[in-house]
Amino acid sequence: MVPTIKDVAKRAGVGIGTVSRVINNQKAVGDKTKSKVLSAMKELNYLPNNMASQLRRNRTKLIALLVPVISHPFFAKFAYYVEDQADKFGYSVLLVSSQQRVEKEKEIISRIKQRKVDGAVFVTHFMHDESLFTDCPIVSMDRTFGENVPYVTSDNYQATQNALEYMIERGARKIGFLGSKPLVESEVMERERAYIDLMNQKGMPVCSVNQVILHGEEEIIVNDFMQKYSDVDGVFVSGYSLSQIFYKRAVAQGKKIPNDLQIVSYDGEFAQWGVNNLTCVEQPIEQMAREIVNQLIKKINGEPTQMRTVIKTRFVEGLTTKK
């Protein structure tokens, strides 16, 4: 049979409490005792039973990460860093893809309540009933929902305006905006607000399509935009999927990029798959992921957290804007 802490204690000739102290390497163990225990552990090939310590400590050391779709390069990269950071605290990550279904969110809440996981990162969010998750350690990205859920976001407003100014400096006179609207309050909406504000300020026309869609339905927005505003000479596209589709479509229509049409995308540096070299506002995914995990661990441990953390984006000059 698999050896337990009792077997180790017997073999080392000590109490099980002492073995436990060695496992969790607490100070208060004498050197000789310690080495006796250590070698007993080695001889028996002992490994602590995780389930037992979980029960005692009331911690699973597991967090859930809820993303809309894993196969989206942004979320894939994000998930990678969440895992890496969680690991530093001894936590593993349960990756759940919501496919935009609100039940998945409820399911995770219930997992927390059943103590299958200690907390969760919500990148998606459709639930409106805040009361369901009071007391649940949850941290979010971009979404602002309620007093109890800290979130990490990027400088959406400023970064968008900077990107627009960049195109204007390079001659753009009629700039469009494409975006997909989140279902709940989210700082992502700042991007369109920044766009509208700047257009008004500059006396330029507002040519915006910003709708609620599901992942995978980006075509709808692109179609709609193309129909209404085919004569723009600059476009700000909010989000990687949209910009991929928009770019391909524009090229297919014979637009010369960047000469006829300049494009800046929010997100876009995922090189390997898809169109490369978009000029884009790059969110520092790694930094955002690590910060989110840090906040979550604090929440789990009952330490004070920061409600809103803003991470600065980086502007990447690609081939879809003029020199």
Partner DNA sequence: CTGAAAGCGCTTACAG
Nearer to DNA, 4 or 277 (CB): 4
Q: In what order do the strands lie in the sheet with 207-211?
A: 207-211, 175-180, 234-238, 262-266, 279-282, 314-316
Contacted entry of its own copies, DNA, none for residue 94, CB cut-off 5 to 8 Å set by kind: its own copies
Question: How many CB atoms sit inside 10 A of residue 68's CB?
Answer: 21
Residue 202 interacting with DNA (CB under 7 A): no
Kindly identify the residues of this chain, within the stretch 12-31, that bind DNA according to CB under 7 A. 13-21, 23-24, 27-30
Kindly identify the residues of this chain, within the stretch 95-124, that bind its own copies according to CB under 8 A. 95-97, 110, 113-116
Residue pair 105/125 in contact (Cβ under 8 Å)? The answer is: yes
Name residue, tokens 């753009």. 172
Nearer to DNA, 115 or 202 (CB): 115
DSSP string, 240-272: HHHHHHHHHHHHHTT--TTTT-EEEEES---TT
CB of 301 to DNA, least distance (A): 13
3-class state of residue 130 by DSSP:
helix
Bridge partner residues of 67 (DSSP): 97
Nearer to its own copies, 107 or 197 (CB): 107
Q: How far apart are CA 167 and CA 150, in angstroms?
A: 34
Nearer to its own copies, 82 or 199 (CB): 82
Give residues in contact with DNA (CB under 7 A).
2, 4-6, 13-21, 23-24, 27-30, 32-34, 46, 48-49, 52-53, 55-58
Give residues in contact with its own copies (CB under 8 A).
47-52, 54-55, 58, 60, 70-71, 73, 76-77, 79-80, 83, 92-97, 110, 113-116, 216, 241, 244, 270, 272-274
